[in-house]
């Protein structure tokens, strides 16, 4: 995820996270159709293909990630209004002085609740 977020900055990056039992097994970057530094909309075809791939592999959709290159570290009102997957964590990558951090949130019925996540960088992301 971090490599994708860095690659796409200053535009928002986005994608899906698949896994089992709360552990990530796959990160699937998806094109941001809006190509914007302040909003994202996943390419519908890529998103559908990723969701089918997750289902066919027997994994679960654990999270949806996107970045806020200029902040904030929390979901925007648009993020909250457009959240459509109850029970799926929203990971928001945000940059402060060039250092990327990730925060997790559950967004259900227009309510935002922070969740604890543990990010373990892969050797390639260092």
Q: So what's the pLDDT on residue 7?
A: 96
Q: What is the pTM of this model?
A: 0.92
For 87-106, letters b (16+ CB in 10 Å) and e give ebbbbbbbbeeeebebbbbe
Q: So what's the pLDDT on residue 88?
A: 97
From the CB of residue 60, how many other CB atoms can be counted at a distance below 10 Å?
A: 17
Question: So which residues are the catalytic ones?
Answer: 12
Question: Are the C-beta atoms of residues 69 and 12 closer than 8 Å to each other?
Answer: yes
Domain assignments of the chain as residue spans, ordered by start: 2-125
Q: Looking at residue 10, what DSSP letter applies?
A: T
Tens-level pLDDT at each residue, the chain (126 residues): 999 999 999 999 999 999 999 899 999 999 999 999 999 999 999 999 999 999 999 999 999 999 999 889 999 999 999 999 999 999 999 998 889 999 999 999 999 999 999 877 666 655
Q: Fold for domain 2-125?
A: Cytidine Deaminase; domain 2 (3.40.140)
Alpha-carbon span 74 to 9, nearest angstrom: 18
Q: So what's the pLDDT on residue 97?
A: 85
Q: What are phi and psi of 56, to 5 degrees?
A: -65, -30
């Amino acid at each position: 995820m971090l490599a994708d977020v860095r690659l796409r900055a200053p535009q928002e990056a986005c994608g899906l996270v698949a896994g089992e039992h709360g552990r990530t097994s796959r990160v699937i970057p998806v094109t941001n159709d809006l190509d914007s530094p302040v909003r994202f909309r996943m390419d519908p075809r890529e998103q559908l293909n990723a969701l089918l791939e997750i289902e066919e592999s027997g994994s679960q959709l654990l999270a949806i990630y996107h970045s806020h290159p200029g902040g904030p570290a929390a979901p925007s009102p648009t993020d909250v209004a457009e959240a459509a997957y109850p029970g799926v964590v929203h990971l928001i990558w945000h940059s402060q002085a060039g250092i990327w951090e990730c925060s997790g949130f559950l967004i259900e019925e227009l309510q935002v609740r922070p969740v604890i996540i543990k990010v373990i960088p892969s050797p390639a992301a260092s």
